[in-house]
Chains A and B, each alone.
Chain A
Amino acid sequence: MIFAAIICLNFQTKYHLSGKQRAFAMKKLAYFDTSHEMPLEIIMAAGFTPYKILGDVHQSNDPADKYLSSFFCPAARSWLTEALARSDQWAGIIFAQGCNASNRHYDVWKVHVRTPFLHWFGAPMLESEAAKKYYRVELNRLISHLESHFGVKITPEKIREAIGKSNEIKNKLNRLAALRSLKDISNREYLAAVIKCLTSPVDEVSAWLDAEIQSWSARPAFPSDKKRFLLTGSDVTYVEWMDTLDECGIRIVRDDLSVGERFFATQIPDRGDPLDAIGDYYMNIPRPATRPNIQKRLDYLYKTLVETKVDGILSQNLKFCEPYAYDSVPVNNALKAKGYKVIHLERDFTPAADQQLANRLAAFVEMMEVENNGSNQQRR
């Protein structure tokens, strides 16, 4: 009898809830974002947990490859694979305008991914007054669509509250990330922490970050056999690749990735109109390669290099990731011209350790050690 009642309750939960009730029962509202363009605070103010679609490198991209050629970004194809399998767990999906090669994937998702809510957020490329005005138009359009579809009211107070929570996460993540250059924190741990913050409920993450800050602070000092590196280029979305870096003696102590510092480096202004604050924030975060201009991207890299002493810079490009492939030449040349040691490489989207790549990295680190030993001997 009890068993039957449980089955009946499950059935009701699954099938008899209204669309709106079911959406809130699912809680997660997923977003497609090739950098950090999605105004997460609007999703939070609507009562949802923003969930950044990051795919799963362990799953074959075959489901997505039925619709997209293999010369498209493998990460974006992995996101489609994830959506094809899991979209029923999300209340909806929002696309933020980002990398142009994958912007048009929206049309493909509209045909093949089953979701009750699909929205295109046209984040402008520029930072001009015209762009600011347009950003506001697009924010209002997003708010209006969320309100009408889910029957919610997104008030300025709710947005302010979301901004407060968002800033709290950014602040804590910043403190946590700062420990990378001081303590023995593996590359995997750092990336896993950022991914958790991008995919889990804010309140849950906030408490977890407090515990992590405490735990990381108590760790041993930065290991003497590791080199401090700045990581730049395409987003890294799986921890296995970070393990390879650790194995080569490289510790990432700074970065400018979207699944990284771009997400938490700056705070949302906590004053005035909340939509203006969101606009100010998203148009002034460290620039990705999908946005003009290269100098602004370099400015953030220079800033990090002044703040944190590094031994080298690792610039990497995911296969078929065009924006970073274009940027890598002028960005790396500019960094080299300032005297930094830069290594650039292209990687595949795979959890398997790439031995050729590891050899190059290990050789680069060895070369640094030889140079250091040489200069130490000269000093003696």
Chain B
Amino acid sequence: MAQTNSAAENAEKIKIRTLPHAKDLKWPMLWWIGMEKLYRTLPWKKTAWTCAAFPIEMMWIYDIFPDHPENMATVAAARKQSQRLIEHAEGMGFSRDVCSYCKTNIGAYETRIKKTLGGISKPDIVVCTNAICDTHWKWFQLMADRMNVPFFMFDIPKWVSGTDEKTLEGNIDYVVDQFYDLIVFIEKHTGKKLNEKKLHKVLDRSMELSNLWREIFEYRKAVPSPYSGAETSAAFFPLVVLPGVQVGINFFRKILADIKNLTAKGEGTMPPGKEKFRVLWEGIPFWYRMRFMYDLAQYGIVIAFEPYTYSFAPEKKKCATLEEMLRHVAKLIMDTPYAYNLERRIEHFEKWIDEYKIDGVILHENMSCRPSCAGMVDLAEAIMKDKGIPVLILQCDMNDPRVYSEAQIKTRIEGFVELMEAKKK
């Protein structure tokens, strides 16, 4: 370990090469911020709070601006604001054990911090699902009550290990029924009506955005990796709030062109010859410590695949009828890789390990996301047994920097690197 340690410290600093158009991420971000201002200024426009795995397209179809508390919580963390916001929420009585996104959002709303620091304003409606976790609906309902805003919750049945097709169809029926309830809710509380022309336009764009991201992921299979998790963690922003609008598509097209160019030249995101270990990162990044991904590069680690950002780009298809489309979307909501059951998780992880030529897996055991941590030990054991590669379970938190311990994490990473090195010999 001492050797590895000194090797990493003494070696020349390895810089991850960012894509030429990476900086263009500012355009979709500025567009989104600008749109919010517009939607809040014009009296006939409406705004909503939404969450991950909610069909955001529904908001754009109805011309409702989708604000995103989780997204803003990550901004607060990246701008080093999350700790004070979390502590503010804890000062209100919230336990240290509950989700740090939720507490960041509560702190941000209560302290009225600026949007650019992760602030968020009161919406016209609050809509969410429990597809990822129940925290979403507990948190959103709590805030909807606090803000006195109408609240809608999409109840997504659990796709547990061993669920058969017949059960799945029953689950889809339930979600489809709720789509009609959602339509009634939106129309009642916003006065907006469904515009079929807009519906098709939004869905077509959403499909194109997803397809572009999936194509980018196809190129990430190349060795050396042209695009690492250090970049995707920020670049996937359009998938979070912009499925259905053009600006995200424009950005992804440029990113894809950059990646095609790099792979055609046989180049990667790491300097030539420096990519030693291709790692799969499972879980949400440490938003307050984005440098962590760059720190990994000092050990020759590139994050070649992460299910988290991939989850936001499911394979969408064009449907002939509204009913067919709703059934398709219902299944997509239930089928997000971030919420896969243990059996499907093992199956897909092992497939991705082969496809992306993975040398090791880091599982972020996120104290703010208990559901995602259930079965992690079994997942690690299955991968080690079936694929013979090291797996590191790293306990930390996505938004609460108080949980991050630099020295402990460094020690764990160095041990993990040694195992990967030994395996490669």
Contacts and interface: CB of A to CB of B under 8 A. Distances in A.
Contacts of B138: 289, 322-323, 326-327
A108 B342 contact: yes
B402 to A, nearest CB: 14
A71 B155 contact: no
B7 interface: no
Interface string A231-260: 000000000000000000000000000000
B174 A125 contact: no
B95 A107 contact: no
Interface string B156-179: 011011110001001101100110
A322 B375 CA distance: 18
A124 B153 CA distance: 12
A358 B9 CA distance: 51
Contacts of A294: 141-142, 145
Interface string B227-250: 000000000000000000000000
B373 to A, nearest CB: 6
Contacts of A319: 97
A72 B370 contact: yes
A125 to B, nearest CB: 4
B374 interface: yes
Contacts of B95: 317, 325, 328, 346
Interface string B80-100: 000000000000111101110
Contacts of A141: 167, 170
Contacts of B332: none
Contact of B155 (A101, A125, A329): A125
A111 to B, nearest CB: 6
A69 interface: yes
Given A125-B137, A294-B145, A103 B174 contact: no
B159 to A, nearest CB: 10
Contacts of A107: 160-161, 341-343, 374-375, 378
A99 B153 CA distance: 16
Contact of B177 (A101, A130, A290): A130
Interface string B266-284: 0000000000000000000
B150 interface: no
B134 interface: yes
Interface in A129-166: 129-131, 133-134, 137-138, 141
Interface in B129-144: 130, 133-135, 137-139, 141-142
Given A101-B374, A107-B343, A107-B375, A325 B94 contact: yes
A292 B170 contact: no
Given A97-B158, A294-B145, A330-B145, A323 B377 contact: no
B163 A326 contact: no
A69 B174 contact: no
Interface in A97-136: 97, 99-108, 110-111, 120, 122, 124-126, 128-131, 133-134
A122 B367 CA distance: 25
Contact of A110 (B93, B135, B161): B161
Interface hub of B94, B180, B373, B375 (most chain A Cβ within 10 A): B375
B371 A104 contact: yes
A94 to B, nearest CB: 12
A108 B374 contact: yes
B395 interface: yes
B162 A101 contact: no
Given A103-B371, A323-B134, A124 B377 contact: no
B187 interface: no
Given A107-B160, A128-B181, A292-B153, A71 B377 contact: no
A332 interface: yes
B63 interface: no
Contacts of A317: 95
Nearest to A97: B158
A120 B102 CA distance: 29
Contacts of A322: 97-99, 134-135, 138, 370
Contacts of B181: 128, 130
A130 B178 contact: yes
B374 A292 contact: no
A131 B155 contact: yes
Interface in B108-132: 130
Given A294-B145, A332-B93, A124 B155 contact: yes
A103 B162 CA distance: 14
Nearest to A290: B134
Nearest to A295: B145
A67 B92 CA distance: 34
Contacts of A295: 145
A320 B15 CA distance: 40
Contact of A325 (B97, B141, B146, B178): B97
A134 B170 contact: yes
Contacts of B160: 95, 103-104, 106-107, 110, 120
A177 to B, nearest CB: 29
B325 interface: no
Interface hub of A67, A101, A104, A106 (most chain B Cβ within 10 A): A104
Contacts of A106: 158, 160-161
A246 to B, nearest CB: 26
Interface in A274-308: 289-290, 292-295
Contact of B373 (A69, A100, A110, A344): A69
A110 B162 contact: yes
B365 A99 contact: no
Contacts of A130: 174, 177-178, 180-181
A71 B367 contact: yes
A330 B147 CA distance: 13
A68 interface: yes
Contact of B174 (A66, A137, A323): A137
Contacts of A108: 342, 374-375, 378
B406 to A, nearest CB: 21
Contacts of B342: 104, 107-108, 110-111
A125 B374 contact: no
Contacts of A320: 97, 370
B376 A100 contact: no
A320 B138 CA distance: 15
Contacts of A110: 160-162, 342-343
B134 A99 contact: yes
A103 B158 contact: yes
A233 to B, nearest CB: 12
Interface in B158-217: 158, 160-163, 167, 170-171, 173-174, 177-178, 180-181
Given A106-B160, A107-B342, A134-B173, A72 B97 contact: no
A331 to B, nearest CB: 10
Contacts of B92: 329
4 closest cross-chain pairs (CB), A and B: A100-B134, A130-B177, A107-B342, A104-B374
Given A108-B374, A138-B170, A329-B93, 10 more contacts: A107-B161, A107-B342, A107-B343, A122-B158, A134-B170, A292-B137, A295-B145, A327-B138, A328-B95, A332-B93
15 contacts: A69-B377, A69-B395, A71-B373, A97-B157, A102-B374, A120-B160, A122-B171, A130-B177, A137-B170, A141-B170, A292-B153, A319-B97, A325-B98, A326-B94, A344-B93
